[in-house]
Amino acid sequence: MSALEKEVLEELKSSETSVKPDYELFDENTQAIVFNYQTKAIQRMLDFDYACRRKTPSVAAIVYASRPGYHKCFWGSEEIMIPIYRTTKEAAEKHKKADVFINFASFRSSYESSMEALEQPTIRTVAIIAEGIPERKARKLVSAAARMDKCVIGPATVGGIKAGKFKIGNTAGSIENIIDTRLYVPGCVGFVSKSGGMSNELYNTISMACRIDGEQRDDLAYPALNEGIAVGGDSFPGSTLCDHLLRMEKNPDIKFLVALGEVGGDGEYKICEAIKSGEISKPVVMWVMGTCSTLFPGEVQFGHAGARADGEEETAHAKNQALKEAGAIVPNSFDDLGDVIKGVYKDLAAKKVIQPVEIPKAKVVPIDISDAQKQGLIRKPTNFVSTISDDRGEELSYNGVPISRVVSDGFGIGGTLGLLWFKRELPKFASDFLELILVLTADHGPAVSGAHNTIVAARAGKDLVSAVASGMLTIGPRFGGAIDGASQHFKHAVDNNMSPEEFIVDMKKKGIPIPGIGHRVKSLSNPDKRVELLKDYALTHFGSAKYIKFAMEVEQLTTKKKGNLILNVDGAIGTSFIDMLQAAESFDDEEIQKFVELGFLNGLFLVGRCMGMVGHFMDQGNLSQSLYRHPWDDITYMSDSSGPG
């Protein structure tokens, strides 16, 4: 066992996965991580959940490297969003209770993605849908799973189903078939097969066989399937027919077992041994398919990679005979399988081993547009989504907080920004800090580009929105954009334990002027009062305030070269803002890094300067008494100012 596998085992013991008996792979709380963007399979899982009246969706997350974000899907008639992550590791760390990994990767990448899933301490079961994984790699997967005490279903499987509780991907077909076969209600039959297609067929057979003659009431009946697993038809499956039968033997809710084998391999003989030894004591109804192979003159290869007899003992006839001699209940042909299952079921029901239960009605799952056009029953997905506000109810809410509470509790502008930008309630010192930034950035005089463009557009007769938009479009590295640059570069320096001297040298080597350092007018002898206010607030409220302190140390070095190379407003905001996020204690390092990388700190500058731009627009409308308009053009001058007007 490698060091990595030992570490995984130790982490698995202390993980936050839901606790299940060792014979249970799935229950009503099981959640899965789906690898690859299989939207139809995901929706079928959610429709099954909804019909079964599960409280939570069974799909916790999706892994799809090329499209991180959210996937929009239906929970009944309501739309929900499932997060999409770039890597399995990230998804597993974010969703520790998701202990099933459903791998829809192609055969080319199924091995690597499955091994990565097995290495996650919270993943307990891996279902591999792809077929054709090279045997050498399949053996490695099986070996790794065994050492880690984890279960692999597949390769080449449709997965499995726990009736009324959980299903993998497209198992059991459409929701209509699931309801018709009562798979939305837990039953008493454990079923295992190599073939995924035949497992769907047998779910229907078992359902029909487990309806006692004369049954009339829909609300009281004998339940059918409890759990069904398709182990896959490849030569080296991650788990065998016998593995699952032994597991189902331990389940007190399962009263008898049904299995479907096929020609090739020796897995069925292990079942014979388990029956003879008493490891399997429950009634076993089993049929091995492929008896027709004796009618062909030569060796026959059936559809599955493992469905080929290399000797007499691997033929279906030999296996069926061995099972019958071991004590399994073997029909005379596949056509008789349903009748044999029915006979065992009726016998157990007569002995009161199986009791009738109330059969609740399944919740009605809405029909998609493509299926409902002729019937006029349509559900249409939205074109836009929002995770920050909701106006569908009686009262508008910001991130789930009713607007009445936002007002009554005095959230203010800063608190509102916390709800809309950061999706959480901020402590008062943080919301007050946001308001301080807006006050300090509201305006910087009429000569800066944003104000100048707003004024020019206003005097050209443009409306308020057009004039302010003209000013907003100038926001960039030379007009507010240094906030983002300062936060990114200073954070990188502090996080990498660089000294102020090393930081300055590094920026010089890169040929990048240090964002947030330097001012055209202000200097050591003429300090910027706004920067002083920001420093005082940060040092008073933000604990260690290590980022702005680092910026102040850099300023001490840069001002030795030139007096105006001071820490400016952009630099003070960019660095102290990171300190504020850390002091708030509700943001982890990953979130803070994402905020910085997104470059959205300019939003503070945008909101603040918009207030000033609106003021400049309004100012132009109130200057009529002191304006002089040239008689032959549209150039307008203020009588008491040389600035633009």
pLDDT category at 625 given cuts 50, 70, 90 is very low
Q: Is 304 a catalytic residue?
A: yes
Q: What is the mean pLDDT of residues 496-502?
A: 96
pLDDT at 481: 64
Number of Cβ within a 10 Å radius of residue 95: 18
Res. 482: pLDDT tops 50: yes
423: left (phi over 0), alpha (psi -120 to 50) or beta: left
Contact 564, 522 (CB under 8 A): yes
CA-wise closest residue to 492 among 574, 436, 412: 574
CA-wise closest residue to 109 among 137, 147, 68: 137
pLDDT at 19: 67
Q: Which of 191-200, 209-218, 271-280 has the highest mean pLDDT?
A: 271-280
pTM higher than the cut 0.85: no
Structure tokens at 257: 């077992």
Q: What is the mean pLDDT of residues 94-110?
A: 95
CA-wise closest residue to 397 among 415, 420, 413, 414: 420
Q: What is the mean pLDDT of residues 388-403?
A: 91
Q: Which domains does the chain have, with CATH numbers?
A: 1-156 (3.40.50.720), 185-359 (3.40.50.261), 427-645 (no CATH)
* Mean per-residue pLDDT of the chain: 87
Q: What's the rounded Cα separation, in Å, for the pair 579 and 83? A: 28
Contact 77, 388 (CB under 8 A): no
| Residue that the structure tokens 């849908």 belong to | 129
249: left (phi over 0), alpha (psi -120 to 50) or beta: alpha
Number of Cβ within a 10 Å radius of residue 318: 17
pLDDT at 444: 80
Q: Report how far apart the first and last C-alpha atoms of the chain are (Å, whole number).
A: 78
Choose the catalytic residue: 71, 95, 244, 304.
304
pLDDT category at 518 given cuts 50, 70, 90 is very high
pLDDT at 38: 96
Q: What tens digit of pLDDT does each residue of 52-87 get?
A: 999 999 999 999 999 999 999 999 989 999 999 999
Dihedral over Cα of 268, 269, 274, 280: its sign: positive
Q: What's the rounded Cα separation, in Å, for the pair 58 and 36? A: 16
Task: Give the DSSP letter of residue 298.
Answer: S
Lowest mean pLDDT among 286-295, 296-305, 342-351, 541-550: 296-305
Q: What tens digit of pLDDT does each residue of 284-338 get?
A: 999 999 865 554 445 554 444 444 444 578 889 999 999 999 999 999 999 999 9
Query: Which residue(s) pair with 213 in the sheet?
Result: none
pLDDT category at 362 given cuts 50, 70, 90 is confident
Q: What's the rounded Cα separation, in Å, for the pair 432 and 547? A: 19
Contacts with 426 (C-beta within 8 Å, 6 or more apart), sequence order:
414, 415, 418, 434, 584, 586
Please give the residue that has the higher pLDDT: either 384 or 345. 345
E strand or H helix that includes residue 159: strand 159-162
Task: Give the DSSP letter of residue 365.
Answer: P
pLDDT at 484: 87
Q: What tens digit of pLDDT does each residue of 249-273 get?
A: 999 999 999 999 998 888 899 999 9
Q: What tens digit of pLDDT does each residue of 565-613 get?
A: 999 999 999 999 999 999 999 999 999 999 888 877 788 888 988 999 9
pLDDT category at 633 given cuts 50, 70, 90 is very low
